[in-house]
Chains A and B, each alone.
Chain A
């Protein structure tokens, strides 16, 4: 019996070891759930994050890992009200313009950086000049390209001709002026991007050192950055913004696998989730109950036609394109293939953006197989009765592309196949170089919540993201008028007229809007997400234990 008794001992040892793990971790887990809704203002919560790719400088964060941390540490002239996406003033008292080209900025007083120094007009102007300078290699430097003199500090090749942009002038501590190359009525909207944050004097002495321990002016101040593990920030008690934090700080906890983060959330070891991983999408609402989040995001998925290719050029093909759009059963595909993680689209602008108008696509975005077939036939049919949809195979698009093709095939009889390219880079190369003949997967994530961003930057003639090669004099005329408008409201309205032109020409088929599918733990409440898919960090309330 010796062997057997020894075996028991082994099993017992494993059990003891496991029990020891349980003891070792219980103090850090803080997993107790009870305690009504009393809020602990001193409470800190954790958030699912990833290692920032770059040093933490406002103009150098493009990816979400660093971007969200920067957003908590810095506050610019304006930001977007998370509840409705509307622009609101933060450091700016007011931003005035008569011609949408020359702006005068007045700052509020009382704003300070986390080292106690005041935020002045120079804090902005110096920061922008430094960030735009090609020598400083900031990844977001092209955000300053609207400003006069940008090409002097950021030439396409060679050394900069100047250290400062001629369009920026400091008047006094609380005033500065901005002159743009031309009218951009929604320039204020762009100013909400983190690249336009102010920088304290200490930044310029050693930017590299600063990037490891930044000093901002935002609602949270930097505490520590344990590389590959976590970034910790704490509420800044002298924060002068209108969105004072309701918690004492955030731990941006690093996860390399979304599945691991989800498991931690379900067991209350992580408080706020970024996104539910695909494998848990089907069950997350069940697991989290009313702590599951499912709301619209400012991003859209579409398929575009290669209008530059001979096959798709003829203008009367608009009917065919509308017919193909009508042949797609968006409701069923988003519910089944995409597990409800997308919302069927009926316009080219994502909801939540200012100027979003419901159903601008109208009938063409409503599933109607009979009408679809009729339109395709009336329009003269698809060239060769065969279409392909180009997509990148590394992004999990295969399933829905196949579903869309099936839908088109069944409704119209047009032969439709997916055309997979191995990775994002390869498919982008083909699209950028206009080498697609047929349809291609395209999408747009908002830079700022305004319809102009979804329209001008995607469908304007020659726009950088105009993958379809769409060119409509009518659309361009309306867009130009909208850009010259003196108020953002007017701009948004005029862009809605431009959007109506898209419904007539159908250069791209809107498929669905992205959604924020996330959730939070039992330790926190009042967790809301803005249209960028970011939690509203300052509003999160940590429950009393």
Chain B
């Protein structure tokens, strides 16, 4: 197990370097000159434009910029935004917000999704099962912006229960609704995955054995059925945590949440390579750690799985 973890951690290094490199060059190859864009519709002052680019190192060749960037990255320096703020500060402000939002959405889709899937799987073909299939199909087919606007209109404008946008991005209570919107599509997948998995495992030999042993129903379902059925769901959830953090861009825009999505949107608009790649670096790390955790969880769920 220890060797497996060590090997996985070592594998993360080339993956990390590769992604950062690709993102660096992709963001720097976007059309348009971010420095000249600071002058808006007016022509940039050539002397100042040159000085500005020199200050930010934008006059160097792409490869030189890349080497500087990678060198800085290993000392924890993510560079500066065009306005001269440290990218690490921008990330530090946005990340805690999105972590909260993503975790809320994650808990929501995990608890509600597995619950729906479990009951639907156990009572296959019954009314609840059919209802859950219709509901999840609806959730999958409604795009997030539409769902967001519906929620905003119903709960804020019509019912007046909440404010249409989040007033304090660090307030967990206010983040619940955006989190539900954010997690709803994944919720549908979690529910369907769980349902199928449960329904299949119900017919497995070990289930018959457990029932034949006279184990209480709670134990049969909780320890034997659910545990074995969770493997595909955990795989999905692991990668989904990263997707939730990156995918918050739409939800955060609708609800004006000041998180990663919002900051990324702003940075992409301004063509700020340093900020965009800074955030992507963080998101890549989240993905890598999440997929490592998934692999480790396999062993916990099914002891037969061994790592060489």
Interface set of A (CB-CB < 8 Å, partner B): 2-4, 6-7, 10, 14, 17-25, 28-29, 31, 51-55, 62-63, 134-135, 137-139, 141-142, 154-158, 208, 227-229, 254-257, 259-261, 263-264, 266-267, 269, 423-425, 428, 432, 464
Contact = CB atoms under 8 A, between A and B. Distances in A.
Contacts of B119: 2-3, 6-7
Interface in B246-279: 252-256, 258, 262-263, 265-266, 270
Contacts of A139: 38-39, 48
Contacts of A3: 119-120, 122-123, 126, 128
Contacts of A154: 45, 47
B265 A256 contact: yes
A191 to B, nearest CB: 19
B171 interface: yes
Interface stretch (B21-29, B59-67, B173-181, B298-306): B173-181
8 contacts: A24-B171, A28-B168, A54-B84, A135-B51, A154-B47, A256-B262, A267-B163, A425-B31
B83 A20 contact: no
Nearest to B40: A62
Interface string B72-96: 0000000000111100011001100
B147 to A, nearest CB: 14
Interface string B159-185: 011111101110101101100100000
B116 A267 contact: no
State the 10 A-B residue pairs at the shortest beta-carbon distance, nearest first: A24-B173, A263-B164, A3-B119, A22-B161, A260-B256, A257-B253, A3-B128, A269-B163, A260-B165, A21-B162
A20 B256 contact: no
Nearest to B128: A3
Decide if the interface of chain A is mainly helix, strand, loop or mixed. helix
Given A21-B177, A257-B253, 7 more contacts: A21-B174, A25-B171, A29-B167, A228-B262, A255-B256, A259-B254, A423-B32
Contact of B45 (A63, A142, A227, A259): A142
B148 to A, nearest CB: 10
A19 B161 contact: yes
A428 B176 CA distance: 45
Interface size bracket, B side: 35 or more
A26 to B, nearest CB: 8
A228 B164 contact: no
A25 to B, nearest CB: 5
B98 interface: no
A260 B168 contact: no
B115 A6 contact: yes
B171 to A, nearest CB: 6
Interface stretch (B149-157, B207-215, B288-296): B149-157
B90 A257 contact: no
B258 A18 contact: no
A285 to B, nearest CB: 17
Given A139-B38, A208-B84, A260-B253, A53 B258 contact: no
B69 interface: no
B81 to A, nearest CB: 9
Nearest to B175: A21
Contacts of A142: 45
Contact of A269 (B127, B165, B252, B262): B165
Contact of B258 (A7, A28, A229): A229
Interface in B12-52: 31-33, 37-43, 45-48, 51-52
B144 to A, nearest CB: 14
Nearest to A426: B31
Nearest to A262: B164
A18 B256 CA distance: 18
Contacts of B85: 227
B94 A228 contact: yes
B112 interface: yes
Nearest to B123: A3
A441 B119 CA distance: 61
A69 B177 CA distance: 32
Contacts of A228: 90, 93-94, 258, 262-263, 266
B225 to A, nearest CB: 14
A267 B128 contact: no
A424 B33 CA distance: 12
A18 B176 contact: yes
Contacts of A6: 115, 119
Most buried by B among A3, A10, A157: A3
A158 B48 CA distance: 10
B164 A18 contact: no
Nearest to A260: B256
B229 to A, nearest CB: 16
Contacts of A155: 47
Contacts of B43: 432, 464
B255 A54 contact: no
B174 A24 contact: yes
A134 B46 contact: no
A425 B44 CA distance: 12
Nearest to B49: A137
Contacts of A18: 155, 161-162, 176-177
Contacts of A28: 163, 167-168
A4 B130 CA distance: 12
Contacts of B89: 227
A281 to B, nearest CB: 16
A25 B173 contact: yes
A226 B90 CA distance: 11
B304 to A, nearest CB: 30
B266 A157 contact: no
Given A54-B83, A267-B163, A25 B47 contact: no
A267 B51 contact: no
Contacts of A260: 164-165, 253-256
A53 B82 contact: yes
Interface in B112-135: 112, 115-116, 119-120, 122-123, 126-128
A175 B176 CA distance: 60
Contact of B173 (A14, A20, A261): A20
A382 B77 CA distance: 60
Nearest to A15: B161
A432 B177 CA distance: 49
A10 to B, nearest CB: 6
B163 to A, nearest CB: 5
Contacts of B168: 28
Nearest to A259: B254
